[in-house]
Amino acid sequence: MTAELHEELTDPHADPHADQLDHGAASSRPLKSRISEPQPRGAKIRGNRPVDQSEAANRFMAATEHEAMHDARLWDLRQKRDKEMHGIEEWEELRNLASGIKEHTLSKLDYYLELFEKNATANGIKVHWAKDGAEHNAIVLEILRSKGVERLIKSKSMLTEECGFREFMAHNNVEVIETDLGERIQQLDDEAPSHVVVPAVHKLRTDVASVFAKTIGSDPDNADAHYLTECQREATRPLILSAQAGMTGGNFVVAETGTFVVCTNEGNADLSANTPPLHIASIGIEKLIPGLDDLAVFIRLLSRSALGSPITQYTSHFRGPREGGEMHVVLVDNGRSERLGMEKFWPGLKCIRCGACMNTCPVFRRSGGLSYGATYAGPIGLIIDPTFNVHKYRNLPYSSTMNGSCTNVCPVKINIHEQIADWRKTLAGDGEISPVKKVMMKAAGEVLASPVVYRASLPLGRSALRHLPHFMLYNKLNTWGRKRDIPETPKQTFNEWYRKNRKQQGEGEKS
Amino acid sequence: MSGSREAILGAIRKNHVQSERARPPVPLFDQAAPSDLREMFQKSLERMGGKMLTPDAVDPMAPVRQAIVKPGPVVSCVPEFQGDMQITPQTKPTDIAPVEYAVLRAAFGVAETGSLCFTEKQLHVNTTGFLPQHLVILLDPAQIVYNLHNAYQRPEWTQAHYAVFQSGPSATADIEGVLVHGAQGVRSLSVLFHPVS
């Protein structure tokens, strides 16, 4: 393998452990895993049974090197995002605009979809409609078969993950090659992406080295990120050049011009779309925006929120097929039109898949995206996944500390933490609640329902927290004690303090 | 699949519980724009991993020649510079694969992000933007806009079938956050300010 590598790799002046993708964020800490450690795998999927996120999270946390790297990397992205935000005076105005534009478009989605269809068709794009993943896959297969396609190159798309696209194509003898590095790592390891923007962020460089050694013949003892990236480039390029069709997703769809927009850092979407004669784009119906003025708002927000860079290296606009080429767009519903009718949960459709909520979430950073056992992980996953399958994902809305940080960083101002709370209520109302939680809720309910019992219980709890030995607080039953210190308990309750300090002064106690 | 089209549009109309929301007007946010945008563009480009070439008043194409340091085919899509591989109407997208350097002119630049816009008009074959190992780009300083709001006022968006912002070279940080240029697209991208002659 090494002999075929491009000379950049053997450049003696190149720093083998060069900077992170810091885009000028000078405060970035360079990261490097110190030890090799077996990679913890994701949640165990047992048919339609509820996914146990905390079980998988425990295994991730037990792999301390993985957990530490994951946490540090994502927190670094969050800090870079903050730095970008502070550099833009109109940041909050942009967030308000983005939210307003999305709400406007969703309130007239039928109109904008038809407008896009009309304009795209006039420019020579063939527009298809798929009500679910199965229909999407069937439409794409039909297009590929009509052209005799055996190899398809593809850029990253969360929608095709929703549709189970790769598995479907494997059964139908179409070779699918992912061209995003992170997604390719995940494909070669037969694992789903763990994050919407950085799909292999849960892996250490040694994990990648072992995947590539098995699949593309790299040196198993060389875990240098430059070397591994180069190996992948060299292995993928012949596949890109020989593919008969290319596939992309779409980050934004501009109705007034009939344009769809794809954002990448590697340039792999442009290669996938422009190299073979056939380009198919799979796009969720919620990606619509009205016009180009609106697009500017989202392009300014997307990469700044995702990675803390001013823009993705490539922002590609497709408005029609190139000469002699063919372009198809498959508009996919897959539960979105139904979600539009959910009074509390429709704002989740505003999501632009930037991943900022994942980067900031303490639960996500410590448990890894695969622990959620669903296409969408992290805070946005907690509120989207139950719309796909309420029973299977009924535990997910509890994988949150409710700190509200996700809502604060969301570029389109989705009220994520409020929706998490609303899902807990909805699930409890529907009887979708685990037996342990049911018993705990019942006991808590009895205490909380009676002011007398509640007040009597507080000093007991407080005193217990102060005097219980360490092992009783930090044990397996108390999930809140894991990886976290219980805050120091106050010497008195607020009520005790109030009676002592305010009542004595005779200040308006009424009850 | 017209049945699905009607089913999806019908479901959307049925589920429109929220009343119609007004479309917010989007300002240009360009009151602070400096009159000369070159410095801002350069700073942004370098942040994205691109390089600025120093102009040569006597021999304007000397910086381009000096930037081409590695052996291999050079394709030029600009009249100012002569490459050694020609693009003809018969050139296929995959024919660009062996190219080491492509010399292109950007339609315009964006100072906010250091982005360069190319359409099929500048690229001749779209893959000249992505399959070569390196790009050397001419940019007319008069064709720099302040920010992305101004950029989307340009005429290219309704004229071209394909338009791309390239902001620095191809990059990835998918393995432990280590920045590597040239993940799939070009390994380096250099820009020379050069007015259209």
Question: What does the DSSP assignment read for A436-494?
Answer: HHHHHHHHHHHHHH-HHHHHHHHHHHHHHHHHS-HHHHSSSS-GGGTTSPPPPPPSS-H
pLDDT given for residue A466 in this prediction: 63
Domain count, chain B: 1
**Residue B145, Ramachandran bin (φ over 0: left; ψ between -120 and 50: alpha; else beta):** beta
pLDDT for residue A57: 97
- Do the chains contact at A20 and B179, CB–CB below 8 Å? yes
pLDDT mean over A344-366: 97
User: Touching check for B189 and chain A: CB below 8 Å?
Assistant: no
Out of A106, A275, A315, the one facing B127 most closely (by C-beta) is A275
What number of other Cβ atoms are within 10 A of residue B73's Cβ?
Answer: 15
**CA nearest to A17 within chain B:** B178
Contact in structure between B164 and B189 (CB atoms under 8 Å): no
| pLDDT (0 to 100) of residue A474 | 59
Extended strands (E) in A11-150: 126-130
Which two tokens mark A342?
């959910």
Closest residue on chain B to A73 (Cα): B177
The pLDDT confidence band at residue A471, using thresholds 50, 70 and 90, is low
pLDDT of amino acid A442: 75
Q: How does residue B19 score in pLDDT terms, banded at 50, 70 and 90?
A: confident
Residues of B within 8 A of A292 (CB-CB) are: 152-153, 157
The pLDDT value given to residue A470: 61
Q: Which residue of B has its CA nearest to A257?
A: B158
Contacts of A343 in chain B (CB under 8 A): 17
When pLDDT is averaged across residues A233-246 and rounded to a whole number, the result is: 97
Residue B39 lies in a domain: yes
Is residue A479 pLDDT above 70, yes or no? Answer: no
pLDDT of residue A28: 42
Radius of gyration for chain A, computed over Cα atoms and rounded to the nearest angstrom: 25
What local confidence, expressed as pLDDT, does residue A108 receive? 96
Given a contact cutoff of 8 angstroms between Cβ atoms, the answer to whether A156 and B32 are in contact is: no
Q: How far is CA A268 from CA A156, A247, A313, in A?
A: 9, 10, 11
Nearest by CB to B11, from A275, A310, A337: name it.
Answer: A337
CATH fold of A2-10+33-336 reads Rossmann fold (3.40.50)
Please tell me the distance from the alpha carbon of residue A151 to that of residue A495, in angstroms, as a whole number.
Answer: 70
**pLDDT over 80 (residue A362):** yes
Q: Is B34 an 8 Å CB contact of chain A?
A: no
Q: Does B20 touch chain A (CB under 8 A)?
A: yes
pLDDT digits (tens, 9 = 90+) for B70-80: 999 999 999 99
Average pLDDT over residues A259-267: 97
Q: Would an 8 Å CB–CB cutoff place B160 in contact with chain A?
A: yes
Q: Give the residue, A432 or A176, on which the prediction is more confident.
A: A176
Instruction: State how far the Cα of A322 lies from the Cα of B185, in Å rounded to an integer.
Output: 20
pLDDT digits (tens, 9 = 90+) for A308-327: 999 999 999 999 999 999 99
**Phi/psi of residue B134, nearest 5 degrees:** -140, 150
Smallest CA–CA distance from B165 into chain A, residue: A315
pLDDT for A17: 45
3-class DSSP state for residue A68? Answer: helix
Q: Nearest Cβ partner of A340 from B12, B169, B176?
A: B12
pLDDT at A434: 81
Evaluate if residue B84 carries a pLDDT over 70. Answer: yes
Which of B133, B161, B166 best probes binding to A when mutated, by most A CB atoms within 10 angstroms? B161
- Using CB atoms and an 8 Å cut-off, which of residues 74-93 of chain B contact chain A? 93
Question: Taking 60 as the threshold, does the pLDDT of residue A20 lie above it?
Answer: no
Q: Is residue B165 a part of any domain in this protein?
A: yes
- Report whether pLDDT(A435) > 80: no
pLDDT tens, residue by residue, A219-232: 999 999 999 999 99
**Is the model's pLDDT at B37 over the cut of 50?**
yes
Separation of alpha carbons B48 and B165, rounded Å: 12
Q: Choose among B15, B49, B112: nearest Cβ to A341.
A: B15
Which of A179, A236, A248, A313 to mutate against chain B (most B CBs within 10 Å)?
A313
User: What is the rounded CA–CA span in Å between residue A91 and residue B29?
Assistant: 11
pLDDT at B17: 64
Which tokens sit at A276? 């073979």
> Which residues on chain B are in Cβ contact (under 8 Å) with A90?
29
Q: Which two tokens stand for residue B23?
A: 């479309």
A135-139, A391-395, A430-434: least confidently modelled range = A430-434
Tell me whether residue B29 is in a domain: no
Q: Is the minimum CB–CB distance between B179 and chain A shorter than 8 Å?
A: yes
Query: How far is Cα A208 from Cα A225, in angstroms, rounded to an integer?
Result: 9
Region A263-292: mean pLDDT is 97
User: Would you say A427 and A393 are in contact if contact means Cβ atoms under 8 Å apart?
Assistant: no
Percentage of chain B surpassing pLDDT 70?
98
Q: For residue B53, is pLDDT > 60?
A: yes
Residue type, A249: G
Q: Which of A69, A114, A257 is nearest residue B158 as measured by Cβ atoms?
A: A257
Task: Give the lowest-confidence range in A25-34, B30-39, B102-111.
Answer: A25-34
Calculate mean pLDDT across residues A133-162: 97
Q: Which of B17, B20, B10, B4 is nearest to A334 (CA)?
A: B4
Is the pLDDT confidence value at A27 over 50?
no
Give the whole-number percent of chain A exceeding pLDDT 90.
Answer: 76
**Domain segments of chain A: what residues?**
2-10+33-336, 435-503
Q: What share of chain B is helix, strand, coil (3-state, %, to 5)?
A: 25, 20, 50
* Chain B residues touching residue A139 (CB < 8 angstroms): 1
- Could you report the per-residue pLDDT of A68-96, keeping only the tens digit for each? 999 999 999 999 999 999 999 999 999 99
Indicate the SS3 state at residue A145. Answer: helix
| Per-residue pLDDT, B20 | 86
- Whole-angstrom distance, CA of residue A318 vs CA of residue A509: 67
pLDDT at res. A30: 53
Alpha-carbon distance A471 to A81, whole Å? 39
> In this structure, what are the phi and psi dihedrals at residue B54, rounded to the nearest 5 degrees?
-85, 125
Share of chain B above pLDDT 90, in %: 95
Question: By the CB < 8 Å criterion, does B106 face chain A?
Answer: no
B86, part of any domain: yes
Residue B114 maps to a domain: yes
pLDDT band at A483 (very low <50, low <70, confident <90, very high): low
Distance CA A20, CA A22 (A): 5
Residue A62's φ and ψ, nearest 5 degrees, are: -70, -25
Q: Chain B: residue nearest A107 by CA?
A: B20
Provide the pLDDT for residue B115.
98
Average pLDDT over residues B158-174: 97
Query: Is B172 in Cβ contact with A21 (below 8 Å)?
Result: yes
Q: Which residues form the domain of B105?
A: 34-193
Is the Cβ–Cβ distance between A293 and B154 less than 8 Å? no
- CB contacts of B13 in chain A (<8 Å) are 110
pTM of the model: 0.90
User: Among partner residues B2, B24, B174, which is closest to A181 by beta-carbon distance?
Assistant: B174
CB contact under 8 A, B176 and A204: yes
Residue B23 lies in a domain: no
Could you tell me if residue B13 is inside a domain?
no
> Is A382:A53 a contact under the CB 8 Å cutoff?
no
The pLDDT value recorded for residue A509 is 46
Specify the amino acid at residue A196: V
**Nearest-by-Cβ selection for B26 from A107, A296, A307:** A296
CA distances from A496 to A17, A450, A487, A488, A510 (A): 58, 18, 19, 17, 15
Amino acid A453: pLDDT: 76
pLDDT higher than 50, residue A510: no
User: Which residue type does A320 have?
Assistant: G
Report residue B64 as tokens. Answer: 């381009």
B2 vs B141, higher pLDDT? B141
ipTM > 0.95 for the complex: yes
CATH number of the structural domain spanning residue B135: 3.40.50.10420
Cα-Cα-Cα-Cα dihedral sign, residues A487, A488, A489, A490: negative
Q: Would you say the C-alpha torsion A470, A59, A156, B44 has a positive or negative sign? A: positive
Cα–Cα distance measured from residue A381 to residue A417, given in angstroms and rounded to the nearest whole number: 12
Q: What is the mean pLDDT of residues A254-263?
A: 98
